[in-house]
Chain A
């Protein structure tokens, strides 16, 4: 049971339609995917939800709806609407936003903290916070795929550094494709081998593609039940 929790469709910055991505993911052997789109208002969100339900039935694959916050204002709005969608991701790259993401328990995934940076974007303080608030740190495959030569080696070294910190402070690690086209999706076995390459054990690498997303998915159901009030608080 493998899940890819970070894919962009044509709704935000992607090139491929929902259906193309869902079909390709199913063929490659994924059990579920999560579309991480940019927030464009409540009305658009409802339309997207309907479309996803249709595609999910047609392609026979579980599809989750996530939103990726690009700045602190967006994050605030998305946190307020937390019950309406499945997964909350934060687009890492800015130091302040990285910090804000790991300090917010509503956030599920901090995506590519090392994106377009000269350092890895995380340190021991941030990773400790991530472990405390259960925010998964993402290994972004597209970041490796689209770069080449020296920039790719820099990205790999930053990711390796982040993984080392996550292992040390027991912060959850998740590997996602971050694809913006269905041609950037890769076989789960290939994703696992990448996770191993950047410093996880083979077993941990497998968990980062199966158990880590599963934990986020279990939280979705919990959050949708009426007893849920906020992270860590629920009616008994």
Chain B
């Protein structure tokens, strides 16, 4: 892979497990009056998180919404944070009340340390 200047881009070596951030993946289900779109959901969650926790607070949670795990038919999604801030993220998810015209509530399906673990019963 070359960058704009034509130099080869060096890929960072993967961190050893002990130095990696300890993630928690939270599977959520959106209960709403009418089916919601992913883009609306993403905006609503990010805005609520930034309002409630602030920019600094969100930075500390290492928060991310995993787009690949959005299932439109089931209205389920997976969000990620680090192991220390699960409660903060859950609280923020509880404050999402509206997506456009439809009122929503978030149901927490499962919390796991790996994405694979979310599929286990």
- B-contacting residues of A (Cβ < 8 Å)? 24, 27-29, 141, 144-145, 148-149, 181, 183, 185-187, 189-194, 196-197, 202
B97 touches A183 (CB 8 A): yes
- Pair count A-B, CB < 8 A: 53
Evaluate contact between A197 and B108: CB separation under 8 angstroms. no
Chain A contact surface mostly: helix
Q: Are B87 and A185 in contact (CB under 8 A)?
A: no
What residues of B have a CB within 8 angstroms of the CB of A189 in the complex? 90, 108, 111
B interface residues (Cβ-Cβ under 8 A, vs A): 31, 51, 86-88, 90-91, 93-95, 97, 103-108, 111
CB pair A190 B93 closer than 8 Å:
yes
Cα distance, A148 to B107, chains bound together (Å): 22
Q: Can you pick out 16 interface pairs between chain A and chain B where the beta carbons lie within 8 Å of each other?
A: A144-B95, A183-B97, A183-B103, A187-B107, A189-B90, A189-B108, A190-B90, A190-B94, A192-B87, A192-B90, A193-B86, A193-B88, A193-B90, A193-B91, A197-B87, A197-B88
The 6 closest A-B pairs by CB, nearest first: A190-B94, A193-B90, A193-B87, A183-B103, A189-B108, A193-B91
Q: Contact at B108–A190, with CB atoms within 8 Å?
A: yes
Q: B105 to A193, Cβ gap below 8 A?
A: no
For B87, the chain A residues whose CB sits under 8 A away are: 192-193, 196-197, 202
Q: Which residues of A contact B105 (CB under 8 A)?
A: 24, 28, 183, 185-187
